[in-house]
Every structure is written in C-alpha cells, then in structure tokens.
C-alpha cells in the first residue's frame, strides 16, 4: 500500500518544469499538487514536508513561479508545485497563459490524487481561494485545505481564525490541516491526510482530511 510515511521524503528530486500540457511527464504514478496565492508560503511548506531546505525554490519576488514543477519521491509519487495566483504585478496575459495550463492539468490528469490548497491562517478567506475550492468541487477534483503560518498566531487566535476559514469554505475542523513551515508543526498531520488520498484514489473531494471517501 502506497504511503508517504513509508517513503524517503527527504530524498525527493526535481524532475522537470512544465509550461505546456504537451510537456507533462508520463502519468505513471500518483500525483499531489500544491496550489495557493502568490507569497502564501507554498514553497516553504513543500520544503518542510520534504525535510529539505531549498529543494523547492523560495522566491523573494511573488509570482515568479511560472511553470508546473514536478518533484519525484522514490519514483513512487510526484509532488507538483503549481504557479501562485492572485498577484497583481504579474501581467494579465501571463496570468491567462498560466491559468490555461493549470486548468488543463487539473481537469485532465488521471493520476492526480489531491490538490493541497494553501491558505494563510492570519487572513480572512480571499475570493480567489473560495473560487478555487468551488471550482475543484465542481470538477470533482479532490482537495485538502492547509492553513499555514500558524506559528504567527497564539493558540486562541489559531482556533478563531481557523473557524472563520472553515465557515468560508463550508468545511469542518477535521477536513483541513493547520501547519507551520517554520516549526514543522502539522507536518505529520499533513502526511497522514495525504496518505488517505493516496489510498483512496476515488476520494470524495468535499470530504477533506479526516475521511476522503465519505460525504460531508
């Protein structure tokens, strides 16, 4: 049974960058994609998940990632870093080009098991985040909300902000993960949640972290 827990995540390697659907690698293994607004901490989250410092490049310039970046874990799983969205300084034509590739990938990739949707726990739900989750639900694409930067808030603030995001996404606490790329808190919970999606390829996308194969 495939499980991230049993894999050497720190041995992950970069495979390729994709800017067109024709460049996608063979769909010969499960894939987990990571999506979020520009500067939300997506690269930092992926590096912490993999216990690597800089495998996934962290840019000081939001919106720099302009491709789908594939990383292989023991030739068993692909982790896919998607371009960030919602950054105004990226030219509109470029945003449209990214959107076309991302949409095509999310709609057509048969081996895609889950889209980790990353949100900043400190801020209210953004319209584009709500739209992304709504679109994934409508397309039947499994997803897992992860509220990151929890280390920036007190425990009380974490719970308050998480409840507001839960309400905005219409999910329960068991359907998401709180995470800190700085401290690593939430890493094991994230791995456990992702393992459930790998075990249940036909997971209901509205079920989230606790039980992907059961309706909400």
Overall average pLDDT of the 83-94 stretch: 64
CB–CB of 3/74 below 8 Å?
A: no
CA distance 205 to 59: 30
> What residues does 77 pair with on adjacent strands?
73
Is residue 208 over pLDDT 70? no
Residue 80 pLDDT more than 90? yes
Q: Given this model, what pLDDT does residue 94 score? A: 58
Per-residue pLDDT of 22-45, as tens digits, reads 999 999 999 999 999 888 999 999
* Crossing angle between the packed helical segments 42-50 and 187-199, to the nearest 10 degrees: 80
Q: How far apart are CA 9 and CA 24, in angstroms?
A: 22
Q: What pTM does this model have?
A: 0.88
CATH superfamily of 4-199: P-loop containing nucleotide triphosphate hydrolases (3.40.50.300)
* pLDDT tens string 127-183: 999 999 999 999 999 999 999 999 999 999 999 999 999 999 999 999 999 999 999
């Amino acid at each position: 049974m495939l499980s991230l827990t049993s894999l050497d995540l720190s041995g992950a390697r970069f495979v390729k960058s994709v800017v067109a659907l024709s460049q996608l690698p063979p769909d010969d293994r499960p894939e987990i994609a990571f999506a979020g607004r520009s500067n939300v901490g997506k690269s930092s989250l992926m590096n912490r998940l993999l216990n690597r410092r800089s495998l996934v490049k962290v840019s000081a310039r939001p919106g720099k990632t302009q491709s789908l970046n594939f990383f292989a874990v023991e030739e068993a799983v692909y982790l896919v870093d998607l371009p960030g969205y919602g950054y105004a300084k990226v030219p509109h034509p470029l945003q449209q080009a990214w959107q076309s590739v991302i949409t095509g990938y999310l709609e057509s990739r048969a081996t895609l098991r889950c889209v980790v949707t990353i949100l900043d726990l400190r801020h209210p739900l953004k319209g584009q985040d709500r739209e992304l989750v709504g679109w994934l639900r409508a397309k039947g694409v499994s997803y897992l909300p992860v509220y990151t930067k929890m280390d920036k808030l007190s425990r009380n603030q974490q719970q308050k902000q998480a409840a507001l995001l839960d309400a905005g996404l219409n999910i329960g606490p068991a359907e998401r993960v709180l995470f800190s790329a700085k401290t690593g808190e939430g890493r094991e919970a994230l791995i456990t949640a992702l393992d459930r999606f790998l075990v249940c390829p036909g997971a209901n996308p509205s079920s989230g972290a606790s039980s992907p194969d059961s309706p909400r």
